[in-house]
Amino acid sequence: MTAAAQVRDSDSETEHVHQLPALPYADDALEPVISAATLALHHGKHQKAYVEQVNRLTKGTEFAQLPLDKLVIRVANDPEHTELFNNAAQAWNHTFYWHSLSAERGVRCPEPLAAHLKSAFGGVAEFQDQFAKAAIAQFGSGWAWLVLDGGKLRILTTGNAHNPLPSGAKPLLTVDVWEHAYYLDYQNRRPEYARAVIETLLNWRFASNNLQLHLK
């Protein structure tokens, strides 16, 4: 399965019924950085609610056949469909976030991603530092992203449910900085959460697979 396939629903000629995808690891696999209690609440309550809302809002509409990524792009910046965009984007964002994290520790960043990180940021460690700073600095709820944009790697942040898909930038990794992503474990200590996740849990293989897919 390709990296993109991991976070994209299959196309269908019939009405689309979105499912809450299973986590790619056990609830306790990311401890002590992210607790099982946080994962159970974040995935089993927050993301589940987004998926259910997407199904409710698209049932019987022109959007019923669209997979999430195409749905997000279709309704982005459309005031008539703000609620649908918010729920669809959050459902997609969360699945991408789960795959952006890995339970496997000590995996080295593979080539050619490491070379691209060196070119764009000075190296893997330098990228991690800049990525953490971006996640920490995002005001309010939102996301930090590593993207491929115009053939170059960039770090960007988005507020609330927004993501890079409508702009055409290609996401490689993301970190969730909504409070529900960390408050049980870190209370208001977002910097501690962001640095712990970025220094220990990033799924380099997922990012590398995404990069190779989008460079083709």
For 150, other C-beta atoms within 10 Å of its C-beta total: 8
Nearest to 96 by CA among 50, 63, 129, 37: 50
Enter the CATH code of domain 113-215. Answer: 3.55.40.20
Strand partners, 202: 101
Q: Do the Cβ atoms of 99 and 3 come closer than 8 Å? A: yes
The dihedral sign for the CA sequence 81, 75, 210, 153: negative
Rounded Cα distance between 194 and 128, Å, is: 10
Compute the average pLDDT of residues 18-43: 97
Least confident of 10-24, 118-132, 186-200: 10-24
Q: Where are the domains of the chain?
A: 113-215
Residue 59 sits at φ, ψ, to 5 deg, of -60, 125
104 contacts: CB under 8 Å, gap ≥ 6: none
**What pLDDT was estimated at residue 156?**
98
pTM, two decimals, is: 0.92
Nearest to 72 by CA among 14, 138, 158, 180: 158
Residue 76 has pLDDT above 70, yes or no: yes
**What pLDDT was estimated at residue 14?**
52
Chain centroid, CA 189 distance in Å? 21
Residue 90 has pLDDT above 90, yes or no: yes
Rounded Cα distance between 206 and 99, Å, is: 7
Residue 58 has pLDDT above 70, yes or no: yes
**What pLDDT was estimated at residue 15?**
62
- Under the banding of pLDDT at 50, 70 and 90, the label for residue 216 is confident
Nearest to 156 by CA among 13, 140, 83, 172: 172
| 21 token code pair | 């995808």
Compute the average pLDDT of residues 122-144: 98
Compute the average pLDDT of residues 33-56: 98
Residue 1 has pLDDT above 50, yes or no: no
**What pLDDT was estimated at residue 5?**
36
- Under the banding of pLDDT at 50, 70 and 90, the label for residue 141 is very high
